[in-house]
Chain A
Amino acid sequence: MINLSDYVTAIKGINCTSALSLEGVKITGAYVCDMLSDVMGSAKPGQVWITIMKHLNIIAVASMTGIPAIIFAKGNEPDTAVIEKAIEEGIILISSKLPTFELAGKLYKLLNP
């Protein structure tokens, strides 16, 4: 388990939900997928979710699966409606310029030094 803030630093991530603090948030791993039906069935609580999917439904999926933060790859940024809903639900949204492979790789390395 590592601190979300350490991971966000490692991927040069930007917190799109600045109303939510990264302080004290621990993560156990990641689930990487762009199909929400699959995420609903397979993601585990405590994992971050690495994706390029930006539809509003991602917030509900994260909320119901216990995902603390969504990491958007390749510089993708969600629109205002998604950010507002995320703040309401307490889901942190991070945007990083890195591609999905590197986002997952960097997290794997942090978890398995």
Chain B
Amino acid sequence: MLSLRADLHIHSVLSPCGGLEMSPKAIIQRLKYFGIQWMAITDHNSMQNCPAYEMVAKNEGLYYSWGVEIQSIEEIHLLAYFDDSSSAKEFDSELYNSLLPINNDVDFWGDQVIIDENENILRVEQRALINSSQWDLNTVAEKVQAYNGLVVPAHIDAGVNSIISQLGFMPSEPELKLFGITAMLDIKSWLTEHPDFEDKVFLRASDAHYLNDIGKGYSIITVAEATVQELILAAKGVSGRKIEV
């Protein structure tokens, strides 16, 4: 078993609300400084920067998982992770086609830049990524599962765009195993107000939009290898696997 420090919710230069300082080298240097060994880039509604960041991460000896932060029609933010990059790409194109057809306003939202591993700009995404998919929560869960991915509701303790802020409380469907929490959450006091989450498993991450955010929140994940399938087993606590926040 490996016990890995993991930050599985980080934004790249593709996220318009993030800083252009979020280059692969700069992010990975900062992750290494904090001893974080497993990362995922989870941009809003797009995985187009995963190839570049994955290549740099692997060259620098970090584990990398393909991820995305989807915004459902209810404006819930949901993280999705995939082991197989070709399934992830197919999912990504389905997701892209489900986005409301609104163009990005660069002056208002910021740039959406797709880069290669050497930080050359390949293209600029024109469609607004801070925007909802037309998929509702259940559809997101079904689609991610169809591509063998894992859905994790993002920052459930946040006042906006969390499954609780949008839906009031956890619906019984879809059945979810793992729940994202914000970097600084005091989980004990939060649980006193949300006792229905007592038996749930949490994933803490930085949700970094700027370099300074990195290192503020991570999880320690014990798995046989750094894969999404292992993360699913860790969420279920199978054979000594676990997630500590």
A contact residues vs B (CB 8 Å cutoff):
34-40, 53-57, 60-61
Contacts between chains A and B (CB distance < 8 A), count? 31
Which has the most chain A C-beta neighbours within 10 Å: B74, B164, B168, B173? B168
What 1/0 flags go to B73-101 for Cβ under 8 Å of A?
01100000000000000000000000000
Please determine whether B165 and A55 come into contact, CB atoms closer than 8 angstroms. Answer: no
B contact residues vs A (CB 8 Å cutoff):
74-75, 136-137, 164-169, 171, 173
Select B137's contact among A37, A40, A55, beta carbons within 8 Å: A55
Please determine whether A57 and B165 come into contact, CB atoms closer than 8 angstroms. Answer: no
Closest A residue to B136 by beta carbon equals: A55
Q: Which residues of A contact B171 (CB under 8 A)?
A: 55-57
A-B contact pairs, 8 of them (CB 8 A): A35-B165, A36-B169, A38-B165, A39-B168, A54-B136, A57-B168, A57-B171, A61-B168
Q: Which residues of B contact A36 (CB under 8 A)?
A: 166-169
Please determine whether B164 and A55 come into contact, CB atoms closer than 8 angstroms. Answer: no
Q: Report, nearest first, the 4 A-B pairs whose CB atoms are least far apart.
A: A36-B168, A57-B167, A37-B165, A40-B168
Complex Cα gap A21–B166 (Å): 30
Complex Cα gap A53–B168 (Å): 12
Closest A residue to B162 by beta carbon equals: A37
Complex Cα gap A34–B168 (Å): 11
